[in-house]
């Protein structure tokens, strides 16, 4: 009878332990739960054999009745453990796939975020450097389009885990996916801002060089005009000097003519 009572207590403890929940985001915890569940199954099968042996050997009516009750209870708990193991095994596969995808996205996002935020200061960078960095940002943005599909897949996997295993602990998983989604949003904002800054800097440099070229063209035109004006002015001065010289000669001739009384000087 003591053995029957002991088995009864053990069955109660086993059922309680087998119903413990696991962290959906912790694949190692789920794996350990699968192993533990298999251990419960093996022990339950052994207890079931013990109960069958007691039924066969005992002639005590009360002991036999209690053994029959314990046998039914043992089979019930065994069935629960077997179903729980199947659930945990499926959960483990899904959790591992989720975690692998999450780690892959986290690694890529962290690396891409550093590349976006560690760019050169636009004021100190030359045009070639700005163009190279803009090309890199555009490449990251294109890759981000592909990674967006993986983010969607990760969110779908997260929702499936939370929906399919509501009885288990989903807080850590929800926190992890929320954190990653926040990082994703921040990354996309940084990409848009950095690209806008680089494009604006390149436009400003282009506008400056265009204005400088126009200014140089205007100055060259002014210089040519000044040179032409200077040449014209010099020619005008020469012409003016020539007229004055001719007039002086004529005046001198008149003076000489008068001095000789209007006579020829020959």
| Within-domain flag for 261 | no
Structure tokens at 155: 């969110």
Closest CA relative to residue 12, chosen from 52, 44, 51, 55? 44
| Within-domain flag for 66 | yes
| Within-domain flag for 39 | yes
Task: Provide the residue range defining the domain that includes 49.
Answer: 1-212
Closest CA relative to residue 84, chosen from 25, 14, 189? 14
1-37 pLDDT, tens digit per residue, is 677 788 888 898 999 988 899 999 999 999 999 999 9
| Within-domain flag for 219 | no
d(CA 159, CA 179): 15
Q: What is the dihedral of CA 110, 112, 116, 118, to 10 degrees?
A: 60
Q: Are 71 and 55 in contact (CB under 8 A)?
A: yes
Beta bridge partners of 23: 169
Q: How many domains, the chain?
A: 1
42-64 pLDDT, tens digit per residue, is 999 998 888 888 777 777 878 78
Rg (CA), the chain: 49
Look at the pTM and tell me if it is higher than 0.85.
Answer: no
| Within-domain flag for 140 | yes
d(CA 7, CA 78): 14
- What's 158's domain CATH number? 1.20.58.60
| Within-domain flag for 265 | no
134-152 pLDDT, tens digit per residue, is 888 889 888 998 899 999 9
| Within-domain flag for 252 | no
Residues 6 or more apart whose Cβ sits within 8 Å of residue 110: 183
Beta bridge partners of 169: 23
Q: Please state the φ and ψ torsions of residue 21, each to the nearest 5 degrees.
A: -85, 165
Q: How far is CA 193 from CA 144, 157, 221, in A?
A: 15, 30, 42
| Within-domain flag for 17 | yes
């Amino acid at each position: 009878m003591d053995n029957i009572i002991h088995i009864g207590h053990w069955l109660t403890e086993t059922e309680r332990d087998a119903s413990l929940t696991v962290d959906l985001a912790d694949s190692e915890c789920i794996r350990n739960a699968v192993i533990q569940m298999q251990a419960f199954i093996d022990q339950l099968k052994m207890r079931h054999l013990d109960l069958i042996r007691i039924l066969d050997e005992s002639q005590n009516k009360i002991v036999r009745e209690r053994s029959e009750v314990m046998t039914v209870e043992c089979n019930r708990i065994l069935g629960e453990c077997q179903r729980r193991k199947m659930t945990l095994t499926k959960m483990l596969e899904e959790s591992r796939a989720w975690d692998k995808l999450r780690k892959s996205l986290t690694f890529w996002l962290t690396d891409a975020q550093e590349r976006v935020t560690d760019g050169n200061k636009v004021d100190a960078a030359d045009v070639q450097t700005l163009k190279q960095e803009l090309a890199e940002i555009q490449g990251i943005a294109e890759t981000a389009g592909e990674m967006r599909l993986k983010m969607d897949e990760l969110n779908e996997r997260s929702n499936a885990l939370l929906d399919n295993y509501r009885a288990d602990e989903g807080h850590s998983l929800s926190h992890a996916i929320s954190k990653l989604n926040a990082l994703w949003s921040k990354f996309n904002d940084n990409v848009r801002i950095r690209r806008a800054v680089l494009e604006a800097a390149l436009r400003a440099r282009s506008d400056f060089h265009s204005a400088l070229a126009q200014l140089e063209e205007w100055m060259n035109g002014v210089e040519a005009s000044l040179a032409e004006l200077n040449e014209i002015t010099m020619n005008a001065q020469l012409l003016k000097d020539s007229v004055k010289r001719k007039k002086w000669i004529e005046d001198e001739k008149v003076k000489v003519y008068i001095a000789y009384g209007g006579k020829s000087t020959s």
